[in-house]
């Protein structure tokens, strides 16, 4: 019974598909004949279809649904290139994944401190809600410009710090860090080949971390009495390649990779500790250009009318390394400072086109 019904439905569809065009053609013929009979004194001339001369020059008709049309008619020939928008204000909202987070290390090159410390290492999470506002602007067909600003709303960060001590067990403790991360960016693009553009820009990143509420301390004389802070400002020039493909005029796929072999930055580190009944403080500040910066981006977006919606993924890695003179327990000595940060951001995008 089911097979019988399906066959009848298929036959009905075929009948409608064949009969409808035939009926419309017959109706058009009948209407023409009726109009001739209504005016018997007008002699009818046989309808001759003249072929328009071939014209190899074609023009673009912007009002014909984006098709290239022949001057003699309105039939489509070739698809028109996608319309270039002047600006696309956008908001990116994502989750910054703590994958590796950030690591800050110090190694003492000179005589040991009053607490006989040879090195310290602090690993702290970076995770939370990432909010970025961007304004891409199209200057010409091949030149574009973008400015953006971003902030991380940190969620439940943790920090674990360890200390290497001469002739003594290793000490350790945990912190409850307060993290403030701000970022501004400006970049320009130039398309030098189909789907491929050069990218160059500048980024300022400020990461301020206050280490409060020390807990689970091992080897410390006065628990919960110490503090620490780490402030970094990165001034990053970068360059790279941007590849963008548009399967159609309503969707876009972008892949980019860019970086810099140096990392101009400023760093200030401050910490107090008491491991052997001799309170010690460490204070170091420096300007550095030794390190690197690398970032990779993948983005997909779709347009509906004037609105844009999409998703993105971004990976960032940077490293700063410097030997500086620091004040340790009232004495000046050289220390090696290493700061690493790497993270993923996954999220969505919404924008409006002009």
Gyration radius of the chain over CA positions? 34
- Cβ atoms 347, 311 nearer than 8 A: yes
Per-residue pLDDT of the chain (354 residues; tens, 9 = 90+): 444 343 444 444 444 343 433 444 444 444 444 444 443 444 445 555 455 555 444 444 444 444 444 444 444 444 455 766 689 999 999 999 876 689 999 888 755 555 677 889 999 888 999 999 999 999 998 999 999 999 999 987 889 999 888 766 778 999 989 999 999 999 999 999 999 999 999 999 999 999 988 888 888 876 666 789 999 999 999 999 999 998 888 899 999 999 999 999 999 999 888 776 777 788 888 887 789 999 999 999 999 989 999 999 999 999 998 888 888 777 788 888 999 999 999 999 999 988
φ/ψ region of 70 (left if φ > 0, alpha if ψ in -120 to 50, else beta) reads beta
pLDDT digits (tens, 9 = 90+) for 181-206: 999 999 999 999 999 999 999 999 99
User: What's the Cα-to-Cα distance from 319 to each of 18, 24, 337, rounded to whole Å?
Assistant: 70, 73, 11
Distance from C-alpha of 259 to C-alpha of 266, rounded to nearest angstrom: 18
Range list for CATH 2.40.128.90 in the chain: 90-352
Secondary element (H or E) of residue 29: helix 2-38
Class of domain 90-352: mainly beta
Of 193, 312, 190, 187, which Cα lies nearest the Cα of 254? 312
> 81 is written with which tokens?
């290139």
The rounded distance, in Å, linking the Cα atoms of 341 and 326 is 22
* Tens-digit pLDDT profile for residues 261-307: 999 999 999 988 877 677 778 888 888 778 999 999 999 999 998 99
Beta pairing, strands 128-138 & 117-124: unpaired
- Three-state SS for 122? strand
């Amino acid at each position: 019974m089911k097979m019988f019904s399906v066959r009848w439905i298929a036959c009905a569809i075929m009948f409608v598909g064949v009969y409808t065009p035939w009926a419309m053609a017959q109706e058009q013929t009948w209407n023409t004949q009726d109009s001739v009979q209504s005016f018997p004194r007008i002699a009818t001339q046989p309808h001759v279809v003249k072929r328009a001369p071939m014209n190899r020059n074609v023009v673009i008709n912007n009002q014909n649904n984006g098709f290239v049309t022949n001057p003699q008619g309105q039939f489509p020939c070739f698809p028109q290139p996608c319309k270039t928008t002047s600006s696309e204000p956008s908001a990116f909202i994502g989750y910054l994944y703590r994958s590796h987070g950030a690591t800050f290390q110090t190694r003492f090159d000179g005589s040991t401190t009053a607490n006989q410390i040879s090195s310290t290492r602090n690993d702290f999470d970076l995770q939370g809600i990432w909010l970025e506002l961007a304004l891409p602007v199209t200057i010409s067909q091949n030149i574009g410009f973008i400015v953006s600003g971003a902030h991380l709303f940190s969620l439940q960060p943790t920090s674990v710090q360890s200390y290497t001590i001469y002739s003594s067990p290793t000490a350790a403790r945990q912190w409850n860090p307060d993290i403030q991360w701000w970022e501004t960016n400006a970049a320009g693009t130039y398309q030098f080949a189909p789907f491929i553009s050069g990218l160059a820009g500048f980024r300022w990143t400020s990461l301020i971390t206050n280490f409060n509420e020390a807990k689970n301390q091992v080897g410390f004389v006065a628990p919960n009495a110490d503090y620490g802070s780490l402030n970094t400002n990165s001034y990053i020039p970068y360059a790279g390649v941007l590849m963008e493909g548009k399967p159609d005029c309503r969707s876009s796929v972008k892949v980019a990779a860019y970086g810099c072999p140096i990392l101009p930055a400023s760093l200030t580190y401050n910490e107090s500790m008491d491991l052997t009944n001799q309170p010690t403080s460490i204070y170091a500040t420096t300007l550095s250009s030794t390190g690197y910066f690398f970032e990779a981006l993948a983005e997909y977006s779709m347009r509906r009318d004037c609105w844009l919606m999409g998703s993105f993924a971004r990976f960032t890695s940077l490293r700063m390394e410097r030997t500086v003179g620091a004040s340790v327990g009232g004495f000046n000595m050289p220390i090696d400072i290493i700061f690493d940060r790497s993270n993923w951001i996954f999220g969505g995008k919404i924008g409006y086109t002009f």
